[in-house]
């Protein structure tokens, strides 16, 4: 009789702290007005400063947090220039992912992506948060399907920044039906097997999203 393996990597408090801070940023419990101080957070968690400090450094390195005036960290805000660059970086990562998928031209995979898009856009609640998650699910599925761990790591890096939540949410929920068509058109382009065309379509899609951002005045 075989037993189930009990071997597990050692769980670190720093990782749990990281996850909780990230969640607090995403659900608004920590805002861009807040100053995140090692000692204060350690007291809140009831642990020592060491794992808190390690988690905060990791988030700083990932661009989620920045050093605050008077000590501590804050959610890293980005200006219009950096927002443009963030969208450009998305074009680079996700455009190339589309290119790789078009080269592979895997029909079953493309069908699966269509299902993911349909599922993700079947929203129960048309809130900003629900829309952000749907958009993230779709775009991440495409990059994940490219099976390139670096592109996925860079994608997560871009989307995990605290400001991304508000940035990448669709501007108006009334765009939903339009957006649904847009995503399926991406799979159409991938299915064409033309890698440059697929990349261009993804780049155009993301650039459109950026244009909507600028037009909304949110930046």
Partner DNA sequence: TATATGAATACTGTATACAGTATACGTAAA
Partner DNA sequence: TTTACGTATACTGTATACAGTATTCATATA
Question: Of 206, 103, 176, which is closest to residue 145 (Cα–Cα)?
Answer: 103
Tell me whether residue 200 is exposed, middle or buried, using C-beta atoms within 10 angstroms of its C-beta: 0 to 12, 13 to 18, 19 or more: middle
Q: Which residues within the stretch 24-43 sit at the binding site for DNA (CB under 7 A)?
A: 35, 37-40
Number of residues counted as binding a copy of itself (CB under 8 A): 29
By CB under 7 A, which span of 67-75, 79-87, 158-166, 178-186 interacts with DNA?
67-75
By CB under 8 A, which span of 33-41, 57-65, 128-136, 163-171 interacts with a copy of itself?
57-65
Tokens of 42: 């350690």
Is 92 a binding residue for a copy of itself by CB under 8 A? The answer is yes
Could you tell me the smallest distance in angstroms from the CB atom of residue 42 to DNA? 7
| CA trace torsion 55, 57, 58, 60 (10° rounding) | 120
Cα(first)–Cα(last) distance of the chain, in Å? 62
Could you tell me the smallest distance in angstroms from the CB atom of residue 5 to DNA? 12
Which one of DNA, a copy of itself, none interacts with residue 73, CB within 5 to 8 A by kind? Answer: DNA
Which residue in the set 14, 65, 100, 134 belongs to the binding site for DNA (CB under 7 A)?
14
By CB under 7 A, which span of 44-52, 105-113, 129-137, 140-148 interacts with DNA?
44-52
- Our CB check for DNA shows the closer of 35 and 104 to be 35
Could you tell me the smallest distance in angstroms from the CB atom of residue 89 to a copy of itself? 4
By CB under 8 A, which span of 38-46, 119-127, 153-161, 165-173 interacts with a copy of itself?
153-161
- Our CB check for DNA shows the closer of 77 and 211 to be 77
- Residue 198 host element (H or E): helix 195-216
Tell me whether residue 101 is exposed, middle or buried, using C-beta atoms within 10 angstroms of its C-beta: 0 to 12, 13 to 18, 19 or more: buried
Cα(211)–Cα(206) distance, integer angstroms:
9
Tell me whether residue 199 is exposed, middle or buried, using C-beta atoms within 10 angstroms of its C-beta: 0 to 12, 13 to 18, 19 or more: buried
Tokens of 184: 């399926």
Q: Which residues within the stretch 103-142 sit at the binding site for a copy of itself (CB under 8 A)?
A: none
Sign of the Cα torsion 159, 30, 171, 219 reads: negative
Which one of a copy of itself, DNA, none interacts with residue 188, CB within 5 to 8 A by kind? Answer: none
Cα(45)–Cα(14) distance, integer angstroms:
11
Which one of DNA, a copy of itself, none interacts with residue 85, CB within 5 to 8 A by kind? Answer: a copy of itself
What is the contact surface with DNA in residues (CB under 7 A)? Answer: 10-14, 35, 37-40, 47-51, 53-54, 69-73
């Amino acid at each position: 009789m075989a037993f189930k393996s009990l071997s597990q990597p050692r769980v670190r408090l720093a990782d749990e702290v990281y996850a909780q801070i990230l969640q607090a940023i995403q659900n608004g419990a920590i805002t861009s007005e807040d100053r995140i101080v090692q000692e204060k957070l350690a007291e809140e968690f009831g642990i020592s400063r060491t794992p808190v400090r390690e988690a905060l450094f990791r988030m700083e390195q990932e661009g989620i947090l920045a050093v605050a005036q008077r000590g501590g960290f804050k959610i890293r805000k980005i200006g219009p220039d950096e927002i443009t660059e963030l969208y450009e970086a998305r074009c680079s990562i996700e455009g190339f992912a589309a290119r790789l998928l078009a080269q592979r031209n895997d029909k079953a995979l493309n069908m699966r992506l269509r299902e993911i898009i349909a599922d993700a856009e079947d929203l129960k609640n048309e809130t900003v948060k629900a829309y952000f998650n749907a958009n993230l699910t779709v775009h991440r599925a495409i990059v994940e399907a490219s099976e390139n761990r670096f592109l996925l790591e860079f994608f997560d890096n871009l989307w995990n920044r605290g400001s991304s939540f508000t940035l990448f949410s669709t501007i108006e929920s009334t765009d939903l039906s339009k957006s649904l068509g847009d995503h399926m058109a991406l799979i159409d382009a991938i299915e064409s097997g033309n890698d440059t065309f697929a990349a261009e379509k993804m780049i155009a899609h993301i650039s459109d999203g950026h244009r909507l951002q600028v037009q909304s005045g949110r930046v």
